[in-house]
Structure 1
Amino acid sequence: MEDSAAVAGLLWDQWLPANVRALISEVLPGGAGDARRLAVWLAGVHDIGKATPAFACQVDQLADVMRAHGLEMKTRRQFGPDRRLAPHGLAGQVLLAQWLEEQHGWTGRQSAQFAVVVGGHHGVPPDHGQLKALDDRPQLLRTPGASRGLWRQVQEELLDVCAEEFGVQDRLTAWRAVKLPQPVQALLSALVIVADWIASNPDLFPYFPQAVHRTGAERVAAAWQGLRLPEPWEAEEPPEGVQELFGARFDLPPGAVVRPVQEAAVRLARRTSAPGLMVIEAPMGEGKTEAALAVAEVLAARSGAGGVFFALPTMATGNAMFPRLLDWLKRLPAEEGTRLSALLAHSKAALNDEYADLMRKSAQRIAAVEVDEEERSWRPGDEQRIASAELVAHAWLRGRKKAMLSSFVVGTVDQLLFAGLKSRHLALRHLAVAGKVVVIDEAHAYDTYMSAYLDRVLSWLGAYRVPVVVLSATLPAGRRRQLAEAYAGAGGAVDAEEFEAVARTDAYPLLTAVPPGGTPVVECPQVSARGTSVHLERLDDDFGVLADRLAAELEGGGCALVVRNTVHRVLETARVLRERFGDDAVTVAHSRFIDVDRAAKDAGLLARFGPPGKSEERPRGPHVVVASQVAEQSLDVDFDLLVSDLCPVDLLLQRMGRLHRHQRGKGQADRPRRLRTARCLVTGVDWTGPVPVPVRGSVAVYGAYGLLRSAAVLLEHLDGSRRPVRLPQDISPLVQGAYGDGPAGPASWAEAMDAALQRHEEHRKDQAERAGAFRLDAVGRPGRPLIGWVAAGVGDADDTRTGRAQVRDSREALEVVVVQRRADGSLATVDWIAPDKAGLELPQDRPPAPRAARAAAACGLRLPSQFSYADVMDRAIAELKELYVPAWQVKDSHWLAGQLILALDADCQTRLAGFSLRYSPSDGLEVTRA
């Protein structure tokens, strides 16, 4: 009890960000002093439920000692199944509440909001049914008969001593009138959980120290020094001049000037009444990422936030962002000796080279140290003890439950959405985001299902007063309003008219700032001088027509991007174009490559088609990249010509952002003459009938309604003789027109549009209802205890295929690790990857060498949707489990433990669940019916 209380005090003093401490402190009459006492006391009493017969009976020889002192109890077998109704967390909540009510005059409602912190310290606050079941069985808390009074005496004596020892005895009367907001209850619960985990670690707090006899204070000091948690970030107010700020934080080219959107965002962050939500809508390539980091620095300095969480749509975009975050962190001002924790948060983070390097440099043995060894154990450069760099991937702050507690985190948006999912240890996720500035990228990319979770999370972030920065190039006005209302709604009364004004504006670029519970502020900065006019044309959906057109357009050289809405169409298109242009002139990019090949594809695209000066390998002759939606976002690539399947207009605009993205010579003179005018050919549609008919694959992905609305707003731009799309001026009108409620398209489309709208609304309603099944409730009124907070939840939630399916409206995807089976039956890593990783032996009678195991794990592959249907998935898993290697399931082989292994033959083929699978480094995975 002393260990837990002492750790809680150290966490409060040296680890919790200032904004978290302030949020807890402001609701207590004694401010910060009361808040610290409360946290320490709750951590000290959190295990009081162990002083009960239901718990103490578990070890016979220890229980006999207690019986000898008059504390009678049944044996574990005599209790039977009833004993499970009194887990020590629940028992502790009941005992603490009784003590507060009987000894200090609290009401049940007053005590519950404090005691629930004890009840939920194993990750799930009890619900009313559990409390009622235990109340009906008092014998689980105190043995009936003569021993009952002695049990009560022991429990009350422990609670009395804790109240006195931890300084709350004289504060309980004043606290009786406090109404703890639910966010404060969650933060206290999380703090107690962290303190409990640290104090329960036998490497830090040995049960039986043999050679060292320490006082309590020395014991805690030795553990704290051995743990050595990095402190929270204490952001300083950055330089007043925005140009100076960007020059200090980012690698700006010589003579580069901060863009108007970036400057306006920083100035607005400084000017708003209180740090809150900021939505930055600006064109592709305007530097929104840099703007978000600069704004985060300002908001952290103003709010006391102790870190940043950058949420991105996919693992690939997260991997690309992580080194950019590290570069920014290295440029932040810091006092000598400051250590900041950084983490890449997704299920394959350990395979990221930058993160793996940071983990290697951060090697630290988590164990108590001798107090007089402080100077030696903290010496920078000691690779065996601590990281030599200021940025560390701290060993204790890893794993699915603790990872988000690092100060600076890059991860998928799933990690943020989990904060809105009823799941075990949800309080830890809330503590993790409550202490940071949260940045949400590509906010337009989330459907109704995901948006339901995002809006609920935003409402809790507003209650925590967490600064949030939302980034988008193509955000519908209605969605902008929903985000703003969700964030502001928990902080106070929302003026509907003020938020209607947020939705009415069609200005672009646009900044929207919403203080917690306050009035929205809208600002319309200028766009940078650079712009592009894109001429749109229809193109018949015929592979031969496409090949002929590309041959004509690229006759004098040039680079074209063809974006298809399905992988099947990507591969079919590539097959036809290779017949026309040759294998070397066609590149394929989609999501069905193994991870290492996908990373190499992205790097290759950047090397050949990236910005001028960084793309020295740009092809001189004709070249065509055929890609799926992976080309839409986060790749700074630049093409001379774009061909795209019809898709929702916001995504089509994202694709246009890859067309003439950079200036290549004056007036684009460095491009082939025919391609100096930006053109986008729109295909994937039968344009011949009275109403456009998109191809089936596109309808399956996006729905007919979104595609028809997109076609409708593009009508005035389609065909070369009509008005081109001006970027960025036309971005907002097109997006708002496509996503608005007004009519769109010719009258002859009305019947088809109405039928598509009905299906669209039914789908959205279904998504919203299904999202509500496990979604966290809205923030309750102050004083309402978190009893039943995550009742009927999903259990544990993590970044696995199962976990992601809980917050995304998609079937559970099947993920495998791809290896090759040699002619003699042995297994090896695939033979086409980097020479130092290819063809490495994977023995089946022992764990593979670490280098081979890691190389194999880097060949992860997500199987396509054919394998997501229940019967096919079950059959596939059963077949994959036939290649179960017991020697790989041990701790020493953590890279491959628990993985499903897909073994390809020498020709890179195999069969699975009735399908033929073929893989090639150039085209990825192809699946056909066997």
Structure 2
Amino acid sequence: MRLGADGDALRAAGVLWGKSAGRAGGRKNLLLQHLLDTAAVAGWMWDGFLAPATRALLDEVTGGEGRGRVLFVWLCGVHDVGKATPAFQRMWPEGAAAVRASGLGWQESVLAGCKRKWRHDRAGAYVLRRLLPEAGWTAEHVAWVWPLIAGHHGAFPSPGALAPPPQGLGQHAGGDAWERARKALLCRFTAEVTGGAGPGAVAPARVPSRAAQLHLSGLIVMADWIASDEEHFPGVDDIDAVSFDGARRRAAAAWKALRIRGGWTELAEPGPEDFGRRFGGQEPRDSQRMVMEAARRMPEPGLLVVEAPMGEGKTKAALMAAEILAARFGADGVFVGMPTQATSDPMFGQVRSWVAALDGELADHVALLHGKRMFNKEWRALVDGESEDGAGGRFEGVDEYGECWDDEWGGDLYGIAEPVTDRNPAARGPAEWFLGAKRGLLCPFVVGTIDQLLFAATRTKHVMLRMAGLAGKVVVLDEVHAADVYMSQFLAECLRWLGQARVPVVLLSATLPPAQRRELVEAYLAGAATQEEYTAQDFPEPAGYPSVIAASLPRTGAPARIDVATAAPWRRNAPAVTVELLPETLAGAKTPAEKREALRKSADLAVVTRLERELVDGGCALVIRNTVDRAQSLFTALRDRFGHDVVLLHARLAVGPRADRTADCLRMLGPQPDPTSPRPRTIVVATQLAEQSFDVDADLLVTDLAPTDLLLQRIGRLHRHDGVARPARLSVPRVLVTGFASDHEAARVGGPPAFLGGSTFIYGEHLLLRTAALVLRAAAEGGWQIPSDVPELVAQCYGDDLSTLPEPWRGPAESAAAEWQKEQRDRADRATPYLLTRRGDKEGPTLAGLHAGPGSGGRAPVRDGEMGLEAVLVYGGANGTAYRTLSRRALTVNGDVAEDMLDDVLAGTVRLPPPCTKDAVEELRPLPGWLAHPRLRYTPALVLDGNGCARVGRHLLSYDDELGLSVAAGA
């Protein structure tokens, strides 16, 4: 039978419901109305949200300018056609009765006895696979469209999972009457949105890439979620009142109320003179001009890899390159990904300032994505409509499961879902709709942790929303060297998808190993070429530093174009960084506890004594320890000698005090407003938090040994800013390297040094050995010339040439390298089950089966190892006494929290160390007064006694306002 609509079938289709009365504001919403509502929302998305590049893509898919809009509107609206089945219509008794009264029936006893359900998303794909060929659609187009319908609730099934369960004896889909009703519904819907044409008129002309399909799938989900809001789309139960004109009016009102918008829409390509307009009149440096010119020369959307010294101005160069790429290739916003929450916060302010320089109104539409953004004053002021010092606010770090899965590096791991209620009329900020779970990346301008991007490469539910949030933007990733081998699997997978989606990407690094650089470029090009692997021929290596590599793939099928350029560094004549050794005696595995304590105190005393000498005339020192325990121990020793001149910063501080201390460090050691006035003596003791994008300037650096690239990052804090008044003895940059047991000559003659157990656990012996050789050589030969030595130092650290090591080291180094390589392979393999595509499936033409198989749809860790559990610290509660917050404000005997106390309670959030996690999950619970609280009911409390102590399993925990959380094994 030809696809058409007879009158009886059309009347029967007019009773099919799409939303029950309980989900549509008290009155049922007819299915046709919901389809038209969603199509109308899609029309507003096309006009006011989609990037020009996305619209151009859809026009290309449909074979003509302006035709893409009709297909997009139709695809979004048709998503719920699978509800026109008995399997769905029977689910609401009142609606089912009306449907059966119209003549559309089913055998209820059969369906009631069938254990396997037939979901309407899969039913919709099943229906379209049957009906679209009748309308003249070719098999190749049906093949890529049906997964969009089957996946609109977050997962893409395989073709074999679409058919109704055989146990239902055909009752799930119904008989001929149901088939006619579905055809009538499809024809009526299509005629409404096309102005009278049938489904054949919207048939595509070209198959889009799989990445474009994933992008489109996310947009369909977005349209469905907006149109499912009962406040703006209440039920319509009279078929005579259903029309596309009415749906458009409803959608227009909803769009205005929700304040959803895209980014620039149309953007003029900036010229060289615009750099100063964006950044306070500054003239671009040679390296910044180099990056901007590379963006201008790129013939297709592609990948820029920018390598430049710390403090060179890579961020500003990247933002200007993003602006150029957006203007040239039709992107409508940016995503800027940072390695940590701490680095995301200052970047948020920089991006807002840059966006404001383009269009002042757009600065309010920049989103900050990580689970502790409530402690960012600029974000709080934006969304709460208050000054940056305002006391108001609300907790914003709960995901859709009600938990704050936030690790010390990244943002919330599964999508921030903020309980947004009673929004302040003075609030600006991004549209409130974007603050919901899994929607943040859809905001036109986004700054967040790299985790937000990495989750777009995981086989998790609703991954299409993340890809839709990245496609149509320019993606900028800073500090990409910080991705370890586990994270790099997700980064490479995401670059593949972005390459296939033709999304311009800018990667930034100060210290990128050559092999990692090539892997990143080839991952992007493999996606652009839709190949399982891509090997770039004659891959160019930069001949200088700073450098930029520009890689793109012509649409003609020609080989990739990979260009490289270099520029002179900004600080051309910087003095060499003097490298000095401060070895210590280390405890062995069998060293008695008393001896361990004595060695620890001796190591701390050596640093204290050295700093007494170095800071005799004042100055600012940064000391970086590789573990929290070492940082706490040294801080205690330094505090006894230097008092309040010492600041401690690490990941086991509660989030409120940690945010305050970070801000204090940036204020004390940031750019100096008065270069004629010496800074007060300051010593910052920190862990790896101070390693990246921590814009402080130290006169002297003391650091534990770490792999060369990370050591160079730490050195990047040394004499970072110009115009800083320094004591004469600290006028030359110096780094004192400790955390190993050796002296220069003994290490050369007697074998490699010994390393701290904590350092070896974190970094592995292989990289520490190779770094130690470089450090010993630098100490003997006068230090390092920064930045010119950086590329070669990193290459030697990550290379495999043993001749660079002292002869006695080579045997142990070879064994350590083999162990390290095996560990790298094992860690990479641990990521494989979570990747969006499996090996051998990276050239697939459609989304069919993307979520099929074990391990799909659930949570996927994008960082290796145990995260630890977050808990909120409170005092008291014993013997019926009231609980108190970490800042000692009184709660109640049940811990009830008034709204104005919420921020103070949550400021006490701290992450417990991984060894405590198992016991903490079993033992810790929310306080009784939190169980009914929408933002605290899933939050465990760690109740401290009057001495600040608590026991979790065999672990004795204590919290000190200065030291933070300390952990010891209990009896």
How does the TM-score come out when normalised to structure 1? 0.87
Whole-angstrom CA distance in 1 between matches of 2:779 and 2:792: 16
Q: CA deviation at 1:729?
A: 0.8
Whole-angstrom CA distance in 1 between matches of 2:90 and 2:752: 75
Structural mapping, 1:663-682, within 5 Å: 663-664=722-723, 670-682=725-737
Deviates more, 1:270-279 or 1:401-410: 270-279
Q: Which amino acid aligns with 1:434?
A: A
Q: CA deviation at 1:452?
A: 0.6
User: Is residue 450 from structure 1 mapped to residue 475 from structure 2 by the alignment?
Assistant: no
Residue in structure 2 matching 1:100, options 132, 142, 156: 132
Unmatched 5+ stretches in structure 2: 1-34, 387-391, 393-420, 555-559, 585-602
Q: Which amino acid aligns with 1:354?
A: E
Cross-structure match for 1:202: 230
User: Is residue 422 from structure 1 mapped to residue 459 from structure 2 by the alignment?
Assistant: yes
Cross-structure match for 2:569: 527
3-state SS of the aligned residue for 1:218? helix
Structure 1 residues 625 and 161, CA, compared in 2 at 3 Å: closer, same or farther?
A: same
User: Is residue 270 from structure 1 mapped to residue 301 from structure 2 by the alignment?
Assistant: no
Structure 1 residues 341 and 652, CA, compared in 2 at 3 Å: closer, same or farther?
A: same
3-state SS of the aligned residue for 1:624? strand
3-state SS of the aligned residue for 1:718? helix
3-state SS of the aligned residue for 1:927? strand
Whole-angstrom CA distance in 2 between matches of 1:677 and 1:810: 40
Q: CA deviation at 1:25?
A: 2.3
Whole-angstrom CA distance in 2 between matches of 1:346 and 1:385: 20
Structure 1 residues 629 and 725, CA, compared in 2 at 3 Å: closer, same or farther?
A: same
3-state SS of the aligned residue for 2:496? helix
User: Is residue 848 from structure 1 mapped to residue 897 from structure 2 by the alignment?
Assistant: yes
8 Å Cα contact 2:456-2:463 kept in structure 1: yes
Q: CA deviation at 1:189?
A: 1.6
Structure 1 residues 499 and 400, CA, compared in 2 at 3 Å: closer, same or farther?
A: farther
Whole-angstrom CA distance in 1 between matches of 2:877 and 2:642: 31
Cross-structure match for 1:884: 927
Structure 1 residues 863 and 585, CA, compared in 2 at 3 Å: closer, same or farther?
A: same
Cross-structure match for 1:691: 752
Paired residue total: 865
8 Å Cα contact 2:882-2:894 kept in structure 1: no
Whole-angstrom CA distance in 1 between matches of 2:634 and 2:255: 60
Q: Which amino acid aligns with 1:852?
A: M
Whole-angstrom CA distance in 2 between matches of 1:388 and 1:830: 30
Q: Which amino acid aligns with 2:60?
A: E
Q: Which amino acid aligns with 1:880?
A: L
Structural mapping, 1:186-335, within 5 Å: 186-207=214-235, 215-241=246-272, 244-251=273-280, 256-333=282-359
Cross-structure match for 2:146: 115
Residue in structure 2 matching 1:45, options 78, 89, 94: 78
Cross-structure match for 1:372: none
Q: CA deviation at 1:166?
A: 2.7
Residue in structure 1 matching 2:793, options 708, 717, 734: 734
8 Å Cα contact 1:305-1:437 kept in structure 2: yes
Q: Which amino acid aligns with 1:597?
A: P
1:717-741 per-position Cα deviation (integer Å, ceiling 9, x unaligned) = 124xx23201111111101111123
3-state SS of the aligned residue for 2:576? strand
8 Å Cα contact 1:181-1:782 kept in structure 2: no
Residue in structure 2 matching 1:55, options 65, 84, 88: 88
3-state SS of the aligned residue for 2:355? helix
Structure 1 residues 793 and 41, CA, compared in 2 at 3 Å: closer, same or farther?
A: farther
8 Å Cα contact 2:353-2:363 kept in structure 1: no
3-state SS of the aligned residue for 1:46? helix
User: Is residue 865 from structure 1 mapped to residue 894 from structure 2 by the alignment?
Assistant: no
3-state SS of the aligned residue for 1:573? helix
User: Is residue 342 from structure 1 mapped to residue 366 from structure 2 by the alignment?
Assistant: yes
1:408-460 per-position Cα deviation (integer Å, ceiling 9, x unaligned) = 11111110000100011111111100021111011110111100100110011
Whole-angstrom CA distance in 2 between matches of 1:824 and 1:853: 24
3-state SS of the aligned residue for 1:807? coil
User: Is residue 751 from structure 1 mapped to residue 811 from structure 2 by the alignment?
Assistant: yes
Structure 1 residues 180 and 558, CA, compared in 2 at 3 Å: closer, same or farther?
A: closer
Cross-structure match for 2:105: 72
Residue in structure 2 matching 1:166, options 193, 206, 221: 193
Whole-angstrom CA distance in 2 between matches of 1:781 and 1:587: 49
Aligned-residue Cα RMSD (Å) equals 2.9
Cross-structure match for 1:370: none
Q: CA deviation at 1:202?
A: 0.7
Q: CA deviation at 1:136?
A: 7.6
1:368-414 per-position Cα deviation (integer Å, ceiling 9, x unaligned) = xxxxxxxxxxxxxxx9999768x632111112211111011111111
Whole-angstrom CA distance in 1 between matches of 2:422 and 2:919: 47
Structural mapping, 1:393-408, within 5 Å: 393-408=430-445
Among the aligned pairs, what percent are the same residue? 37
8 Å Cα contact 1:422-1:791 kept in structure 2: no
Structure 1 residues 152 and 575, CA, compared in 2 at 3 Å: closer, same or farther?
A: same
8 Å Cα contact 1:607-1:618 kept in structure 2: no
Whole-angstrom CA distance in 1 between matches of 2:173 and 2:527: 42
8 Å Cα contact 2:187-2:198 kept in structure 1: no
8 Å Cα contact 1:590-1:630 kept in structure 2: yes
Structure 1 residues 574 and 239, CA, compared in 2 at 3 Å: closer, same or farther?
A: same
Residue in structure 1 matching 2:649, options 589, 593, 599: 589
Cross-structure match for 1:545: 606
Q: CA deviation at 1:498?
A: 5.0
3-state SS of the aligned residue for 1:785? coil
1:786-839 per-position Cα deviation (integer Å, ceiling 9, x unaligned) = 111122465667xxxxx6x710112132111122226765455545xxxxxx43
Structure 1 residues 90 and 296, CA, compared in 2 at 3 Å: closer, same or farther?
A: same
Q: Which amino acid aligns with 1:791?
A: A
Q: CA deviation at 1:133?
A: 6.1
Cross-structure match for 1:923: 963
Whole-angstrom CA distance in 2 between matches of 1:38 and 1:207: 26
Structure 1 residues 841 and 616, CA, compared in 2 at 3 Å: closer, same or farther?
A: farther
3-state SS of the aligned residue for 2:493? helix
Residue in structure 2 matching 1:898, options 924, 938, 941: 938
